[in-house]
Structure 1
Amino acid sequence: MLGFLIQRLLQAALVMLAMSALVFLGVYAIGNPIDVLISPDATQDIRAATIRAYGLDRPLWEQYGVFLGRLLRGDLGRSFVFNIPVLELVLDRLPATLELALASVLIGAFVGVPLGIYAGYRPDGALSRGIMAASVLGFSVPTFWVGLILILTFAVNLGWLPAGNRGETVRVLGAGWSFLTWDGLQHLALPALNLSLFKLAMMIRLARAGTREVMLSDTVKFARAAGLSEWTILRRHVLRLIAIPLVTVFGLEFGSTLAFAVVTETIFSWPGVGKLIIESITALDRPVMVGYLVLVAFLFVTINLVVDLAYAALDPRLRRRARA
């Protein structure tokens, strides 16, 4: 198991190195932030001094070397616009995106998996057909349109839930969390529901397909022949056998939700890193853009590593292979 972990850590380090180079080159090849940072009528001397102060007069490879050295020390640079360390700025917004992404993925998992298992267990029932029809809508309807409809229905017409912002928060471990207060939960409900619809539909279809396959297997036939109840078969055999693809989707969807919650955060004015990256792109705040993308790549790599370790815990064949 230790060799398996070391191999995955080395792979993660190589992926992070490659991603940092691609992100840096891609972002620094776009636009000139000096045009945004200083007034258009500034003198050439002021312009040249600003370029030197931000190190933009150096060759691109040298700028990357400086960036990589800072990155290894945990320094992502300073924001051009906010003039504070990028890591501090991103970490201040990250809890909002983390709880929004986690809430949406948990809704998709704890609602979608039971519905998918039921649809796979009784595929010809009317309720199962309705579940599958609803899952098609989850894939087809655009997120921004659903968000506007949710605001119009529950915030404007019914007045049950707030339309935007984060609400009251409680600071735990130096970060503010809105799910710990009733007002924060009310503000979290609509954006989390909006962001979870695609995950919910995916979990339903994945769980249904896995259940249909497992129900026709010899494992279930032998379990029924042994006199086990249907609930025991579903809990001990079906759910366990479909757990690996579900864990994969859960991990990857959590990472993609962190990275691509921009639309939902914009619609609901949710103060997360997605809204921050939109503001940074508008202002050509290169350090924030690079820092955000590197952090997202790091989160993806970390989540994939955790998923690989979960594989080893769920599948005994991987543990035997790792020991070998």
Structure 2
Amino acid sequence: MKENNSTAENSRPNQHSNHTHSHTKSRKRRRRSSSSGRPSGHVIFVIVFSIILVVTIVRLFLWNRGRQSDYDPNETTTEFDVEVMDYLQPLDPEMLEGHEDDGVTTVLALGNDLLSDDRSDTGLAALMEKSANATILNAAFPGSSISMKHQEFDNSYPLDGVSLYWVAAALLNQNFDLMDVIVPQMNSEAAAQALETLKSVDLSKVDDLVILYDLQDYRDDRTVYDEANDKNLTTVYGALTATIKLFQEQCPHIRIYLLSQPYGTFTDANGKTIDIDRDDLGNGTMVDYLNWEVEACRKNGVSFIDNYYGAITMEDTDCLTDGYHLNQKGREKIAERFGKVFKQ
């Protein structure tokens, strides 16, 4: 019996050992089976790299091929982006020392047809008065220009005597002898009224000076700038500079504004319609004139209000008559913009 028990007892560990060994082999098989179902790191890398490579090739192919665009190089469009060239220069407070403020904002306006065409209550000067809440003295001479045609006054061209600098000099020197001869010859009621206004100006009460001319200098193909003489009165830049300096020296309390020419077109002597934005008559397009006008303002510390891009552009032909003269809508548009800028 003991031997049997011993034999039985000795056989139990063997059974347990066999069971353990079998269980271990089973777990190894499961691990191998589990490992064989999961891709290795190298396989994953190859898959990801292949996907990236395929996507890159496809995108490169599409980029090289391009895509259909709606752009038509032959299309004519009137839409354009522009930047208004306003330049506002405040008056140095030192320039007001000794000047008495009478409480009324008085503006002297020098220029030509834009202001002189209509001197009524619906004219540009009157509209600017309302828009700026100021009193405007309209001393604009029809047919005049910023620059002179001749270096010195010549009786053969009397309009030089009412060009910008000569008007300023007559006013500041209080000498109207030449104008008393010229203006009656112009046979213009507007010119006579301008001279009358000019003679009545009290410069001590003038707070601001406005300079506003139309396309006259461009139409006459006047020189824009003289490198040898920046005060050459036969150039636009020179006449502006000389006039500004004259006012700054004798009436430093007056703040000066140059208002640019609005857009316009006209027909030349050969019947060709001139687009001032593109046609160079010999001294540049109107844009070249504008750039030198801005430069004169910056150089001399006065303000520039841009009507060319800011008020009457090539999109606003409904504001013009005869190509470049203002109609009522055009006057209202320029007056409105002037008032907004002037009040800043």
Q: TM-score, normalised by structure 2?
A: 0.22
Larger radius of gyration: 2
Larger relative contact order (C-alpha < 8 A, sep ≥ 6)? Answer: 1
More strand by share: 2
Q: TM-score, normalised by structure 1?
A: 0.23
More helix by share: 1
